Structure 1
Amino acid sequence: MSWNLQYRTSKFRHVYGRPASKEKCYDCVPITHNVHDNQFCAVNPHFIAVVTECACGGAFVVIPIHQTGKLDPHYPRIWGHRGNVLDIKWNPFNDFIIASCSEDATVKIWEIPKPLLTKTITSPKKELLGHVRRVGLIEWHPTANNILFSSGYDYKIMVWNLDTTKAVISNPVKILNAHRDVVLSMSFNTDGSLLATACRDRKIRLIDPRAGTVLQEASYNSHKANKVLFLGNMKKLISTGTSRWNNRQIALWDQDDLSVPLLEEDLDGSSGILFPFYDSDTHMLYVVGKGDGNIRYYEISPEKPYLYYLMEYRSHLPQKGMGMMPKRGLEVSACEIFRFYKLIPTKSLIEPISMIVPRRSESYQEDIYPLTTAAQPALTAQEWLNGVNKAPLLVSLRPGSGVVNSLPEFPEPQPLVTTADLSQHQGWGGKMPLEDVQEPTFADVLQTTGRNP
């Protein structure tokens, strides 16, 4: 472990991990015992989805995020695959749509009903048929609506356009044949114009997802990559894997030159795979080891020495996987900048872990909450397929700022009082900022001035 001893100012130097109390955990959850190297957990501000152990076929449960405590043994499940479920991912623009892939070589899209689940769901909204072997990875496009990528053990990555009324889709809009072995990891850059992959041949590839061409390939033999991740818009990638001496290792790469890594960091000699998580708002990297109980976290800098070790969260309970809450689901009043959902199969427990910036003030801390990705697509599926690139839409996390909702149906907009309306009434003077006049209704304003609405 390298240490940078020079003094460096940082708002995140003293970030610490705070596990949830027992009553705020999810207990008696039959977490899967599958050994596939995936997270088996997906989280959004409404639900937590977890792949479960079942007698036949593949299933997962969807639990409301506030329904903590013991789970009913007869709690309804999403049960429609004939083989084990290997990966699940929530639609980033719709909190009630989730995708799953399985050993039965299919990808299924599920719609979660608005009321709480009352019975097991067995019929998906859509079924994607194209792979001839089991499907191990799925990823939603970060900016285009209804674009899904799937990767199977047939060495193919398929691009699906879900903007169709068909219940069964058998023709992907694009098939990427850039690999000669199983893809272990996929990651998009900020606008989704580039796709990075880590393959079982231990190579990292940078791919144009629409053309299907390999733009760069890392053939550096000293680092055997298992997982790869784009670092936001820094034009850098981080990969986790093993060194020539089989030590667990992380490596930092320049997006424009994958010949030699910018940095290699050996961590330890354990055997569990390392999962990287990156927060582009705070430039913090979290490294989680499968079978470990700890979480290492770093701060990434665009200049040398690039990687600054901050601290390590320690626990004696080993994790099988981790779910990650999107930024819009965090508790900003507690200065929470990241939240994990730790799967502990030995205890049938899911434990939330909050990463906290220690500050006394309970007011909104604007310096640690910059504008973040909104739950609204920047592009339609067809626009992206036609070659258009757009950065993700951004939104403030300040309470009351009108965070973009990700519900499938948006409520009707309420009439707002404008500055011109207010200037007609005494006491306001027409000088109130527009963002501050959206809370009172027009009837409230009239009542304040003594007039009948």
Structure 2
Amino acid sequence: MTWRPPYHSSKFRHVYGKPANKENCYDGISITRSVQDNYFCSVNPKFIAVVTECAGGGAFYVLPISQTGKIDPHQPKVCGHKGNVLDIKWNPFDDYVIASSSEDSMVKIWEIPKHGVIKNITTSKQDLQSHSRRVGIIEWHPTARDILFSAGYDYRIIIWNLSSGESLISNPVRILDCHKDAILSMSFNTNGSHLVTSCKDKRIRIIDSHTGKVLQESNHLAHRAIKVVHLGNLKMILSAGYSKWNNRQIVLWDQDNISVPLREEELDGSLGVLFPFYDPDTHMLYLAGKGEGNIRYYQLTSEKPYLHFLMDFRSSLPQKGMGIMPKRGLNVSACEVFRFYKLVTIKGLIEPVSMIVPRRSDSYQDDIYPLTAGAQPAMTAQEWLNGFNKDPILVSLKPGSNNQQCITKNKSNDLCKLPDFIRRDHVAINAIQQKQEQTNTEKVHEQKRNYISNGYDLSEGPPPKTENELLQMFYRQQEEIRKLRETLAQKEVRVKQLELEIKNVRCSSIDF
């Protein structure tokens, strides 16, 4: 019988949550009292937006990310909706553009000044009006510029082309009219070709985002899904909701067959809606319950049992909603892999919570920061409308990654003082790093030729055809470097131990 460890081995097993100090929170905000099960907060590296209370209509704050502390009660707002604001989302490719939806059946696009909001903004950049009832959810396309999806309580999802400012209702395919009840949530796969939705009729649907055709529909009515997240790189879907016994439950589904769940996990009997957040870079899943302060986190794998509990962050401050910082806004020098912004209604507070990987070194950790989706769109709106799908453009989070340098002259001199077996490992690491840099900077067709000329064995599989395949190969090489570095660090520790032993022997002989 093969022995297996009692827990899942993971470099993220000891991730811990670190709440911000009071001076780094946002205090004195009148957070919306809406009962909608939305997040009410959206964050990017420049601004934090949060839905607030407003007499005679709907409004939200837009604060510079650095404007922490006590907020002026007369702080200017973005206002213009005639009903309560239900959802807000920053444009992933423009940090100064944000979309909002409201009970007034309108979707509005706002342009935020570079210096922030210094007076009330009442005139939107674009008004999108085609829904007949309130609009509860909006989502930007993950790879195409200026494509926005909105889901209303008229049971329809409408696609908007913001480059023209017009709804695409002239083409019936662009109105996704396949739901029989209110849409509760929606999520894209990695390249935005598929859209997964949860509906009040207890069904989960996978929809072709171009044609509106329902590709799959679940019939597992024992599970009532409230929120869904597409786990694109794992080819799975996660839904968070309630079991037939009204216990909170999460369910994993195979994206190619959602007729039968891969795994069902009942959590507890609480009533608060679960907010799921998925990090595709670390394969970590975070679950935050509405009305409670705790955040559970797991690591997902593509093999059974799929879901591995890691730990939970506990807090006495209950959250009404949450925002998350994009990866490009994290503090990588502190080994921060995720950051929440909790909306605490009872205190009028927004509390940042950082998820930290405990590491002794202050240097950049390659193994916990793989290449991630950047702020550059992979295609234009027209390309997507013409039927194209493209994966996101990946970037490195390493500081100064565009100007990577080899080992410095001083480090090269220090190599001469090391034992031969350590120096050989340093040389091997340096050689792999140089090969990485060459692979990452040359054009795709040049990279392919270099791999072939350097002895790339085509019999082991097809050569890389796209930039993403090359980047995946680049990431595998990074993993090899990490293992070499670990081996090297062990050898360096052994050298220091031997040096200390020699020193002790010499001291002993002198005393004698």
Same fold (TM over 0.5): yes
Structure 2 CA distance for aligned equivalents of residues 129 and 13 of structure 1:
47
Query: Residue 55 of structure 2 corresponds to which residue in structure 1?
Result: 55
Q: Which has the larger radius of gyration?
A: 2
Instruction: Please report the TM-score for the alignment, with normalisation by the length of structure 2.
Output: 0.77
**How big is the shift at 1:34?**
0.6
Give the aligned CA root-mean-square deviation in angstroms: 2.1
Instruction: Please report the TM-score for the alignment, with normalisation by the length of structure 1.
Output: 0.87
Alignment of 1:21-420 (within 5 A): 21-164=21-164, 166=165, 171=169, 174-402=174-402
Structure 2 CA distance for aligned equivalents of residues 275 and 117 of structure 1:
29
* 3-state DSSP of counterpart to 2:175: strand
**How big is the shift at 1:276?**
0.5
* 3-state DSSP of counterpart to 2:346: coil
Structure 2 CA distance for aligned equivalents of residues 305 and 170 of structure 1:
43
**How big is the shift at 1:233?**
1.6
Q: Kindly provide the CA deviation profile for residues 240-281 of structure 1, in whole angstroms up to 9, marking residues without a partner as x.
A: 010110000000000011111000000000101111100000
* 3-state DSSP of counterpart to 1:233: helix
Letter in 2 for 1:160: W
Letter in 2 for 1:290: K
Contact 1:129 1:171 in 2 (8 A): no
Structure 2 CA distance for aligned equivalents of residues 70 and 202 of structure 1:
43
Contact 1:208 1:214 in 2 (8 A): yes
More helix by share: 2
Structure 2 CA distance for aligned equivalents of residues 170 and 294 of structure 1:
41
Give unmatched runs, 5+ long, in structure 2.
406-432, 439-512
Q: Kindly provide the CA deviation profile for residues 87-143 of structure 1, in whole angstroms up to 9, marking residues without a partner as x.
A: 000000000000000000000000000123221000000010100100000000000
**How big is the shift at 1:66?**
0.5
Query: Residue 13 of structure 2 corresponds to which residue in structure 1?
Result: 13
Letter in 2 for 1:228: V
**How big is the shift at 1:202?**
1.1
Structure 1 CA distance for aligned equivalents of residues 25 and 170 of structure 2:
40
Structure 1 CA distance for aligned equivalents of residues 279 and 250 of structure 2:
17
Contact 2:19 2:351 in 1 (8 A): yes
Q: Kindly provide the CA deviation profile for residues 312-349 of structure 1, in whole angstroms up to 9, marking residues without a partner as x.
A: 10011110011000000000000000000000010000
More strand by share: 1
Structure 1 CA distance for aligned equivalents of residues 76 and 127 of structure 2:
21
Structure 2 CA distance for aligned equivalents of residues 128 and 365 of structure 1:
44
* 3-state DSSP of counterpart to 2:328: helix
* 3-state DSSP of counterpart to 2:137: strand
Q: Kindly provide the CA deviation profile for residues 214-245 of structure 1, in whole angstroms up to 9, marking residues without a partner as x.
A: 00000102211111101132110000010110
Contact 2:344 2:350 in 1 (8 A): yes
Q: Kindly provide the CA deviation profile for residues 389-436 of structure 1, in whole angstroms up to 9, marking residues without a partner as x.
A: 11000000000124xxxxxxxxxxxxx9x9xxxxxxxxxxxxx97979
Q: Kindly provide the CA deviation profile for residues 190-222 of structure 1, in whole angstroms up to 9, marking residues without a partner as x.
A: 000000000011110000011111000001022
Structure 1 CA distance for aligned equivalents of residues 84 and 7 of structure 2:
50
Identical columns (%): 66
* 3-state DSSP of counterpart to 2:347: coil
Structure 2 CA distance for aligned equivalents of residues 30 and 396 of structure 1:
37
The structure whose RCO (Cα within 8 Å, separation 6+) is larger is: 1
Structure 2 CA distance for aligned equivalents of residues 176 and 49 of structure 1:
28
**How big is the shift at 1:6?**
2.4
Q: Name which of structure 1's ranges 296-305 and 112-121 shifts more when overlaid on structure 2.
A: 112-121
